[in-house]
Structure 1
């Protein structure tokens, strides 16, 4: 039997592969024609009788291969790999994803099917960094069907699979798992919101009727459990509610509600949640009035975050409520916010608690604007009652309802004249 052929063995070599670049890099590799012809279509063509060759160095055939400087090392590696048995036992020869991509490009160019297969198997199986993934997306799609398995992890998923993972994730994200799983639950909530968000790309999931129905049901069950907790709190003593650690579950629900508002708004199905919050508002405030401990103040902050989202839906017409419910929301939450903001501001001045009570200043500003919008949409007599209470409150500085007061004054002053112009029979002195 013939001894194994080794690249660079001049005593048995019958062909020289000369790698060259325009920058002047030049390397001669002493090879064997039978190996080159067997494992590379490019070299099979170059060494065939149909391809003109030149004689050099003791009558050996010389094949000159020109390449870019950036591809030079990859060409060297491919020619060396022709001498390696590619049977799955060479996984450690690729020296990383980036190098394997370069080798793959050259292997495709030189028509080396065994190396191409081995490269594909390696790249398809190993993890990629983001930069490597971008490189794969840039290069692989134009290289032919034999490399398509590399792109399997990047292919779009069929709608039924997306629907399935969305529902499964939704049910977990609206459950009440042990606190050790809070990070996992938060991640699930973030991904659900991302799936329905339209940014540079279309949403991953279209909000079909069955998706909306499932979301409503899951959020409804979440709120039902919250109502049960509210009832349990209201049955306890004031001191018991304010004990350290007693607010953990309560806060967890509020965090879930804050996220739920984001999801429901994107799906345009806030109505059920808003109505549930309206119905529970009195109970929530009553629980919050039970204590002024640090835990209660932190919980109040989270309540404010949810209230801001609910009132925004009401104030800007996303959810249409009857007058009585809108008036009720103002009467419940305006006094709560007036008292809560100073407590939170005071807690933020305490260095030990400042991080726990960090809240976006824009939230307070947005909440103030929302109150103005809701108040101005109420009957003028209800506006007068609210503004009277606001002006007599020690916390008159927030929210600042000056805009609502100015509009009410103007409307009230000109009401008779404006309505008379249109022949209104409802123009009475009761307007003021």
Structure 2
């Protein structure tokens, strides 16, 4: 048994080192081997996916604190790198540079991959928190007027990644405070609504459209998210939705109906409680009978 135990510890240690090496390279931002970088990164990502799905030692390794800490550090680095690349887009004189757009798209694809990986590792909350934190900066860049008519692929990809965040929060995979959920909705609903409107106005052959599946996924997640908010926050989100010009999308009618029902129900219960509290005690009931002690049975007769 001691030999078997030593062998098992060695196997787990090897699995841990291989996994850490693979995920480090899969998320690396350095250009160590530029001519082979994409192939090596893809191979490392495939190795991580294989280990998470088929390596029998991985469930034991995933509980290791070093794995979790290292992964969180790597996720933070990826987000920081992506945010810097996106800001460099509007700082460059030639902001329509195809090579730069390609690099940013690759970083965004890496983010999408790490999201799927974190789901399998039960660490997706780290992805969601990072995305919420950088959302303001992302939108500040992508809504720059100079990008109005270009980089449609990047804009749609941002919505695809955002939809994963909305689904994680909306369906309870990740629990965030109400303030963070409201912030997420306020930031992304106007942008998604605008992009859907612009997408619908393009020619049928336009390659960068919001697909029907994407639209339905985003809409369902938003409805679920809004419905779970405190009543006052729901009212604020729904008020903005009703007053918006493109009120057709996302369709929050279901969330609005739920809010109306809950509001009416709460008001009815409040009215009933106030009415009951205002009713005087019946004179036929003696003070002794209204005492809490009067409801205790007499277990000592005589």
Q: TM-score, normalised by structure 2?
A: 0.75
Q: Which residue of 2 aligns with 1:250?
A: 104
Change beyond 3 A, Cα 1:179–1:377: farther
**Aligned residue pairs, count:** 257
Change beyond 3 A, Cα 1:421–1:348: farther
When the two chains are superposed, the root-mean-square deviation of aligned CA atoms in Å is 2.6
Distance 1:364 1:292 in 2: 21
The 5 A counterparts of 1:312-323 are 312-323=167-178
Distance 1:344 1:173 in 2: 33
Match of 1:341 among 174, 196, 199: 196
* Structure with greater proportional helix content: 2
Q: Which residue of 2 aligns with 1:293?
A: 149
Change beyond 3 A, Cα 1:252–1:328: same
**1:242 deviation in Å?**
4.1
Task: Spell out, residue by residue over 1:367-399, the C-alpha distance to the aligned partner (whole angstroms, 9 max, x if none).
Answer: 111101111122222222222221222322221
Distance 2:223 2:202 in 1: 27
Distance 1:168 1:346 in 2: 47
The structure whose RCO (Cα within 8 Å, separation 6+) is larger is 2
Structure label with greater radius of gyration: 1
Match of 1:416 among 248, 263, 267: 267
Change beyond 3 A, Cα 1:248–1:345: farther
Unmatched segments (≥5 aa) in structure 1: 1-156, 424-432
Q: Which residue of 2 aligns with 1:191?
A: 47
Distance 2:178 2:265 in 1: 23
The 5 A counterparts of 1:328-367 are 328-345=183-200, 349-350=204-205, 353-354=206-207, 357=208, 361-367=212-218
Change beyond 3 A, Cα 1:188–1:419: farther
Task: Spell out, residue by residue over 1:93-146, the C-alpha distance to the aligned partner (whole angstroms, 9 max, x if none).
Answer: xxxxxxxxxxxxxxxxxxxxxxxxxxxxxxxxxxxxxxxxxxxxxxxxxxxxxx
Unmatched segments (≥5 aa) in structure 2: 1-9, 275-302
Q: Which residue of 2 aligns with 1:168?
A: 21
Distance 1:330 1:391 in 2: 15
The 5 A counterparts of 1:184-223 are 184-197=40-53, 203=56, 205-206=58-59, 207-209=62-64, 210-223=66-79
Q: Which residue of 1 aligns with 2:289?
A: none
* Structure with greater proportional strand content: 1
Contact kept? 2:234, 2:259, Cα under 8 Å: yes
Q: Which residue of 2 aligns with 1:310?
A: 165
**1:349 deviation in Å?**
2.1
Distance 1:166 1:345 in 2: 44
Q: TM-score, normalised by structure 1?
A: 0.54
Contact kept? 1:196, 1:204, Cα under 8 Å: no
Change beyond 3 A, Cα 1:418–1:263: farther
**1:259 deviation in Å?**
0.9
Tell me, what secondary structure is at the counterpart of 1:382? helix
Q: Which residue of 1 aligns with 2:113?
A: 259
**1:421 deviation in Å?**
5.8
